[in-house]
Chain A
Amino acid sequence: MSTEIESRNLVLAAALELRDDETCFVGIGIPSLAAMLAKRTHAPRAHLIYESGGIGADPQVPPLSTGSPCIAENAAMLGDCLDVFGELQAGRIDLGLLSAAQVDRFGNLNSTVIGRYESPRLRLVGSGGAHDIASLAKQVVILMPHEPRRFVPQVDFITSPGHSLAGNERAAAGLRGGPSALITGRGRFTFARGEMVLAEVFAPFTVDDALEGLSWQVPVEDTVMRRSDFAPAAAAAYARLDRLPTGTG
């Protein structure tokens, strides 16, 4: 189970992945919270883009749907799906933030099915725009609560491709950067060599905590950074965000 401190760490660390003035394709849930936090702290001019067509979005409450009123209200522009996915395919989206039911060591994401595709144990929601973002954003950051059942050596179904294609096969298939990092409430993993490697832990969690329950031997950087805390202004902004009601917006 993800504790309160883990939820906080996850959103605070994820926000740091957004840079000011960059374009970021945002999904619902933790990705939206992280993007909202970034805009309220170090990246006020980050351009948030939602698949519904919201461009330069600045939601005042966490949205339940990419088509919610809070995405439309306060946006710089309302285009449509073709506008925003067109920008994505053209290579003009710097960062995609994604979450999923399962992730594997190569950053492949599954949001389609638990079990076999033809005879599912649990049928999930499907790709939405996730496959497109994972394929075509310049860079992808995966946001996952530390729930070991979500971390598997091999996902049941690759909805959104990570680095399972060896070497430059990803580029040969016409795909862009892929996952650069995976963030949990306990630490940050990178994919510098195409595979998940623990690079940073967030206090009070240790390396062992960050790897707890993961079902394969996850490589660990020689020097794991230890973040003692996040900037006080960011923590305060998170506390304000966390108090907002989700919905009717």
Chain B
Amino acid sequence: MAVTTLSQAVRDHVSEGDTVFIGGFGHCVPFAAGHEIIRQGKRNLTLTRTGADILIDQLIAGGCVSRLIVGYIGNPGIGLAHAFRRALEAGSLMLEEWTNFTLTLRLHAGRIGAPFLPARALRAGDMPRHIANLATVTCPYTGAVLTAVPALCPDVALVHAQRADEDGNVQLWGIDGDTREGALASRKIIATVEEIVPADLVRRSPELTILPAHRVSALSVVPGGAHPSYVHGYYTRDDARFAEYDRLSRRQDELDAFLAAHVHGVADREAYLGQFPLTDLNWLAHHRPGQRP
């Protein structure tokens, strides 16, 4: 594991055609890492996570994505993912749709080295018909017929978290969602964190560590790396940006202008934060303390 810049981490560990797990279930969405992928023009990626939000929509708009494996894709609480919708309706994007539970199970199977896991979901309705080669399995103990959910092991995971030590032990608290399952199912992990802290601080609260150093391929310090999502204890969710994205992403030209100004038009996250300062998003101005010692 090496502490490096985010651009170096993406250059070294994301290859064209990779399957990339995007961490962050509303919380700690790795926007900075995703934007770096767009800037570097990585192509032909398969993106996966359960609930996909506007970062994945931006990666589609940025021309990086040929295939999605998701349980949901939209702008949470607001509406549809417009770049996704346009790409799908134009036939330029392949979609493999699971449910949030069964996709979590796919990642869990990958994580624990099981070839598949049995599930009681995807047994009725129209979804099972649209998943290629979906198999069932008969329980050898009860005879019950269950869905055999195949393991999914992404090539690389992007995870943003509160902090890590210099060895690369990554600590995250607050909402996890499918982040830990997806990251530990992946062959490589690129982690970005708000701050590096001394190792003895991590070792005083090892229960907060979600990724141990030996699983982390690259670590970068990227304060503000989850904006406009949030980092529990550091800054709150910039809800207005999600609403604004709903408006601007309805038209391809406006979305292109957004990417030109705020992704391609900035060198890194520090420059991005010059355009979107976190000043009004201070955690303590909106919430009770969420900071750990």
Contacts and interface: CB of A to CB of B under 8 A. Distances in A.
Interface of A: 28-29, 51-54, 63-69, 71-73, 78-82, 85, 88-89, 108, 112, 117, 120, 122-132, 134-136, 157-161, 165, 170, 173-175, 246-249
Nearest to A85: B101
19 contacts: A51-B51, A51-B100, A52-B51, A65-B77, A66-B76, A67-B25, A69-B174, A72-B174, A81-B104, A82-B108, A125-B72, A126-B72, A126-B73, A129-B101, A132-B99, A132-B102, A170-B124, A174-B120, A174-B146
Contacts of A135: 120-121, 123-124
Interface string B72-85: 11101110110011
B122 A131 contact: yes
Interface stretch (B151-159, B230-238, B270-278): B230-238
B99 A131 contact: yes
Interface in B112-135: 119-127, 130
Given A81-B50, A161-B124, A53 B176 contact: yes
Contacts of A51: 51, 100, 177
Interface string B138-154: 00000011100000000
Contact of A53 (B81, B89, B119, B175): B175
A247 B100 contact: no
Contacts, number: 196
A123 B95 CA distance: 12
B288 interface: yes
B60 interface: no
A134 B100 CA distance: 13
- Chain A CB count within 10 A is highest, among B76, B98, B100, for B100
Closest CB pairs A-B (n = 8): A67-B26, A64-B77, A247-B239, A125-B74, A128-B72, A65-B76, A158-B125, A132-B101
Interface of B: 24-27, 50-51, 53, 70-74, 76-78, 80-81, 84-85, 88-89, 97-102, 104-105, 108, 119-127, 130, 144-146, 173-181, 229-230, 232, 236-237, 239-240, 242, 286-288, 290
A80 B181 contact: yes
A81 B181 contact: yes
Contact of A173 (B50, B72, B124, B126): B124
Nearest to A28: B77
A73 B99 CA distance: 26
Contacts of B84: 123
B25 A248 contact: no
Nearest to A60: B287
Contact of B126 (A88, A122, A124, A158): A158
Contacts of A120: 88-89
Contacts of B178: 80-82
A107 to B, nearest CB: 12
A66 B25 contact: yes
Given A123-B88, A246-B77, 6 more contacts: A67-B27, A120-B88, A125-B81, A128-B51, A174-B120, A248-B237
Question: Chain A binding site: helix, strand, loop or mixed by DSSP?
Answer: loop
A245 to B, nearest CB: 9
A66 B76 CA distance: 8
B26 A159 contact: no
A248 B241 CA distance: 11
A131 B108 CA distance: 19
B97 A68 contact: no
A170 B120 CA distance: 12
Given A65-B53, A135-B121, A88 B77 contact: no
Contact of B176 (A28, A78, A173, A174): A78
Contacts of B108: 82
Contact of A117 (B25, B123, B130, B286): B130
A173 B147 CA distance: 10
- Chain B CB count within 10 A is highest, among A71, A73, A132, for A132
- Chain A CB count within 10 A is highest, among B70, B85, B145, B175, for B175
Contacts of A117: 126, 130
B60 to A, nearest CB: 12
Given A82-B108, A126-B73, A157 B126 contact: yes
Nearest to A90: B120
- Chain A CB count within 10 A is highest, among B88, B127, B179, for B127
